[in-house]
Structure 1
Amino acid sequence: MRVVLSTWGSRGDVAPLAGLAVGLRELGAQVRVCAPPDEEFATLLARVGVPLVPLGPTVRSVIAGPRPPTREAAFRLAPELVAARFRTLAAAAEGCNALLATGLMPAGARDVAEKLGIRYVFACFHTFGLPSRRFPPGSRPGKPSSPDETDNRVLWEQDAQRVNALYGEALNSHRAAIGLPPVDNVRAHVLTDRPWLAADATLCPSQGMTDLDVVQTGAWILPDERPLPAELEAFLDAGAPPVHVGFGSMPMRASADAATVAIGAVRARGRRVLLARGWANLAPVDDGADCFLVGEVNQQTLFPRVAAVVHHGGAGTTTTAARAAAPQVIVPQIADQPYWAARVAELGIGAAHEGPVPTTESLTAALTTALAPGTRTRATTVAGTIRTDGAQVATELLLGTTGPG
């Protein structure tokens, strides 16, 4: 069986596909991944021997510039990604039996599968973007809803209109070019009535959270056996467990002194600091021996050895920290990150920072909660509930060896 997996998004969107690809390959499937051509994504996939088919522009070029992407940029990117899927993904899917898409609204993926007559699955890593009567949609470029509107059904209808405005014209133009009829609701068309949720049920329960019939597989975790660098091992062994601070693919523009704030807050709690450079380009503020800078390392091995993890609240980092029983402080920036922050606080395994811009005082307060003995005890309890077989579940569903997905 041949499968093509597709995404456009950050590392948190690519790494789960790598985990799924490994599972599929272990059961005899041939797999290729269409993803953004960022160097670190290519490196990640090469590490597990999965070929990368470059799709669209690099993510870093879009989101990590000196200023946030504008509304106009979003309206340029949307049709560009649609065209890339009809061109690049269509070629990659030739001869395949199934196509699974995730990441930023993958308009065009289902249409490629429809034209080729192969199975299509939409997957997501949280319920944030799925229509629900329980919560309103997140922000999206386009005509905003009235601040006086409180009916979630109306707000989700207006969200569908914004998706149509972003993707509809390009999608239907490409569909017409290959002999397919137009669609009138792009969001519903992409998500399908039965999306897959690749998230842990403890961290992200799906019951009652959306109006769609969700298939929850569990998180798609890519096992990482890489050793930690010798210098990092030496730092860890030289004192008490440090606090890990890193914001992944978030540029942290609103907090230009994020490193200064974080280091000050961790030191105020009497802890050493392990600083992850990331796309925020964090760096030590002095040459203190209590601060160590790392690049991309094996978090699965590292997080069990830290006192707490301060991060942006990506689904992958949240899950990795939860599995490691590491208390968390989430400083949410965009999209689903406020959800993960709230969920971590609700479970008692960490603290949710209020707002995206930390101060030394606010981060110190959040760390006080995270570093409390009761938080570590609760994190240890929750860690025992996190399942690690999500990629296997999804693999069996996709290959048809278990019930229908």
Structure 2
Amino acid sequence: MSFDVLAVRKEFPILTRTVNGKPLVYLDNAATTHKPQCVIDALVDYYSTCNSNVHRGAHKLADEATRRFEGARDIIAQFINAPSRNSVIWTSGTTESINIVANGLSQLLQTGDEVVVTSMEHHANLVTWQQACAKNGAKLKIVPVNDLGELDVVEYTKLVSPKTKLVAFPHVSNALGTVNPIVELTQIAKEVDALVLIDGAQGIAHGDVDVQEIGCDFYVFSGHKVYAPMGVGILWGKEPVLAEWPVWQTGGEMISTVSFTDATWNTLPFRLEAGTPNVGDAIAFGEAIRWFSSFDLASLQKHEKALIDYATKRAKEFEGLTIIGDASNKVGVLSFVLDAGHPADVGFLLDKQGIAIRTGDHCAQPLMNRFSVPGTARASFAIYNTLDEIDVFFDALCKVKAMLA
């Protein structure tokens, strides 16, 4: 089955606009993806027809809102092949999801324990573990990457030991696009009974996430990386682990019983969902996953591979351009530097031509230091991007190079 990218583009209203008098070429999808009309409609419809708090209301609107809200949880549970809907926890995004786990771990760690992360982490999957370890005198160990931007699995195997209580790593590097061997990494950690958390913020949008097959204990991701609104995300965890995990916040919904001297916690998923949830965005998140799941995954992934392969080819032919992160297995992220100028200048001049990319350290300062660059220019692709847009991008980059020379 072929993937009709032009038909897909028609579902995204924002792609028809212009920027600085030029047709928008949006290549900042690793930062956030745009939303198809059906997702926008789902959000508007909730606020227009059944806006209400969920679970506790004794009226029709509350019942409708609860049904849609919990229905979205079911959609997401099925999408990642979660064995139980009760282990799908609503959060504000990947960062909060990681913090929930790190907060609990900080209460469990002891002096001499170890946590293993990688040198390609987003700050959200690094600083949280730094803080968790600092509270108890535990040690944080770092897995290096090679010159291609790939994890050193041999060194990872050496770092994981019986002292390791948790390992955390990205499914996909946000700064480089490297796809990590998450099943292999999980299996190595499980040989010493370590917990495994996978930052799936960049991996979820490429489909084929099966938490049971992976074998991890936690898989976390954000809605806005996969065509859903900002401000909503998922913490998935193995149900026996989450059922005993220290609570993150206290308040309404997560309570079972309360007295003036004590309280007990609700069952999953509610024990980790304190307060009024982000109902409208959660419903729209479910619609985004329903929409995304309607595509033939093989043809979608073929289209995405064609984009990064073509962009990489053009980049390697571009004089004065150096790719940062050229792993053999990567998704649609082209991170690069130009000899002619600073990444910030490259991004500014591309924007003048209607092209949106990201520049800077991508919340991965240690990784930039590893490659001895202050930051990179990053073009990142989604399913609605085209080969023609890549040509427009490189034509514009030629003008940028000339202006910076």
TM-score (norm 1): 0.31
Report the TM-score, using the length of structure 2 for normalisation: 0.31
Higher relative contact order (CA 8 A, sep 6+): 2
